[in-house]
Amino acid sequence: MNHMANKARAVADLTEGIIVATVEIEAPAERIFEALTTGDEVLRWWGSSDTYRTTEWTGEVRPGGRWRANGVGVDGKPFSVGGEFLEVIPARKLVQTWRPDWDERNTTTTVTIRLDPIEGGTRLTLWHKGFSGHPESCGGHGAGWERVLGWLAGHVTPPAPAQQHFLCRLLPPRATFAHDMDADEAEVMKHHAEYLTGLLHKGVAVVFGPVADPAGAWGVGIFRASGEAQMHALCDADPAILSGRGFRYEVLPMLRAVYRD
């Protein structure tokens, strides 16, 4: 089954000194807010082996509360960044000042994070303001936020269920069906094809179509599902089965599936 894309994107306006970044995450806003504001959580996702690692995060998550993160770069050099929470609305909005020790300007910028519920998860939008006159720092932070939001999305997104492949045979009510179906049966076949085409677009169906068996044509499809129960539910929802005209499915789990996308 398809999952929500969690590719983070950031745009840095070097003239205005503003960064806007966004990512859609298949997780509730409460879970994302927890990952952003809990020290043990932050240490689990903020960083990577080829960039840097956050080694300590502390914060009093309330307006006026202070926060600080310490870390170490891939070169072994330590760093820190900290600030103050200006606005805190759990699972909805977080505004904080941002002052890193690696910035020679020694100035404070502001990060605003908003969490909006969408179908299937949450849209996170981030604004980082205060880089006017410093385009290099603005661009660097923009690239950094893309990485950070990607790490966050990967951390809180639940793993996709394991997929199995199934070979399914749709057997018609009679061997001569392909040659002597009536108008109503042809309409059923139209809706059947539309249903399987929809599954194809969702990535559930891999391939489907009729088979010219000398003993009588039948339909075949290869599908992805999380298990036999889901596969049978998909077959039961097929308009051919729902028509009550004598169609039936044979569902056979594949021991192994090797294919080329």
Query: What is the CATH classification number for the domain harbouring 224?
Result: 3.30.70.1060
> What is the token pair recorded at 76?
């072994």
Q: Is 23 helix (H, G, I), strand (E, B) or coil?
A: strand
Last residue of a domain, one of 121, 156, 191: 156
Residues 177 and 117 grouped into a single domain? no
Q: How far is CA 229 from the centre of its chain?
A: 24
Last residue of a domain, one of 107, 133, 156: 156
What is the spatial distance between Cα 75 and Cα 68, in angstroms, rounded to a whole number?
A: 21
Each residue's pLDDT tens digit, 56-92? 999 999 999 999 999 999 999 999 999 999 999 999 9
Last residue of a domain, one of 104, 129, 156: 156
- Whether 4 is in a domain gets the answer no
Residues 18 and 142 grouped into a single domain? yes
- Whether 212 is in a domain gets the answer yes
With a cut of 60, say whether residue 211 has pLDDT above it: yes
What is the spatial distance between Cα 71 and Cα 85, in angstroms, rounded to a whole number?
A: 20
Domain boundaries, position 89: 9-156
Which pLDDT band, with edges at 50, 70 and 90, does 1 fall under? Answer: very low
Helices (H) and strands (E) counted in the chain, each on its own, are: 7, 12
- Whether 102 is in a domain gets the answer yes
Q: The whole model's pTM is what?
A: 0.64
- DSSP annotation of 254 reads -
Residues 105 and 177 grouped into a single domain? no
> What is the token pair recorded at 8?
């983070």
Residues 44 and 130 grouped into a single domain? yes
What is the spatial distance between Cα 101 and Cα 111, in angstroms, rounded to a whole number?
A: 16
With a cut of 60, say whether residue 4 has pLDDT above it: no
